[in-house]
Structure 1
């Protein structure tokens, strides 16, 4: 089992990173939240989970222990594999996921790509006693974004291959107050795509 990998971020994709460790490149599937905090050439320690099946060996990784712990809980749910767990973590921040589970909000959970209402209800049923309490949830420093705090998001959009002017114009045209970084990036991607078309 590989618990973590330290090295340089050699490449960022839409849902993965390649980290160079001793001249070996490790392909690690990850969430939007972790991707948004990393830049190519950064040195980082990525916490990893190795998924082994008869036909595949895959690494999933995260910057924070909170994301890793929640990922491991999600994949204990029958019918939720690592890719579905990653989809949940790429749709919502960790505290939002816990809040959705604790409030038994199957509608919001079912907005995750690939998660239907039945599976959403199953996630809530199986994890509501395992994610803490509503009182214990605190808003993380990257949970919501103010109008002046967009540099990381702009960098994330540029690292995905978009022109800096297009990315800035997309952000300037949006109301970002109180939204998570993930939500802002998704909305910005839609806006940029419309501009290109």
Structure 2
């Protein structure tokens, strides 16, 4: 229904926010890791998903399209609904979730409310080959939310560096963890990222 909504956060609760746009307040359900990043009365963009139930329609939203994609992948797993997916995204940061999936760490995923070992293993089995490791390379701080061009530049640098590491023979998990440790503010090129990542790989 809506690809994204720009608006101003006027209210926050444990699992949802009110985003005002043109005099209309949209109730958007999201994870707690997203909620704590939000400031009142600052323009924010939410990428949204409309969940239609027999008795209600609920709008879910996130600060990047990549995180929304991960949310959709989570609810595609049998036994995980939107609320369960939010529980996972509230318990684990995006980089932690991706690391848990690609390194097959079911115990980390099972820390989420309502998610047992069996369901956590199912998440890994069904998403390990589908999950996009580049999703957490998108910055979602306040300055970046409304600057998708800047986000894409950072993401492209890290993505190219990760592909180079994989081509050198490192596993996807090793490459991801090495690059994800890097503070992108300290580097400006793929070469810089590779240099630091290779140093990180020696330490892993």
2:30 equivalent in structure 1: 30
Alpha-carbon offset, residue 66 of structure 1 = 2.4
**In the TM superposition, what are the counterparts of 1:111-126 in structure 2 within 5 Å?**
111-126=111-126
Q: CA RMSD in A?
A: 1.7
Give me the TM-score of the superposition, normalised by structure 2. 0.66
**In the TM superposition, what are the counterparts of 1:121-140 in structure 2 within 5 Å?**
121-131=121-131, 132=133, 133-134=172-173, 135-137=175-177, 138-139=179-180
Give me the TM-score of the superposition, normalised by structure 1. 0.68
State how many pairs are aligned.
Answer: 142
The answer for unaligned runs of 5 or more in structure 2 is 134-171, 184-204
List, as ranges, runs of 4+ consecutive aligned residues in structure 1 with deviation greater than 4 Å.
Answer: none
Please tell me whether residue 45 in structure 1 is matched to residue 86 in structure 2. no
The answer for unaligned runs of 5 or more in structure 1 is 143-197
**In the TM superposition, what are the counterparts of 1:3-14 in structure 2 within 5 Å?**
3-14=3-14
Provide the secondary structure at the position in 1 that maps to 2:60: strand
**In the TM superposition, what are the counterparts of 1:67-86 in structure 2 within 5 Å?**
67-86=67-86
Query: Cα distance 1:48–1:141, how it changes in 2: closer, same or farther (>3 A)?
Result: farther
Higher helix share: 2
Provide the secondary structure at the position in 1 that maps to 2:180: coil
Higher relative contact order (CA 8 A, sep 6+): 1
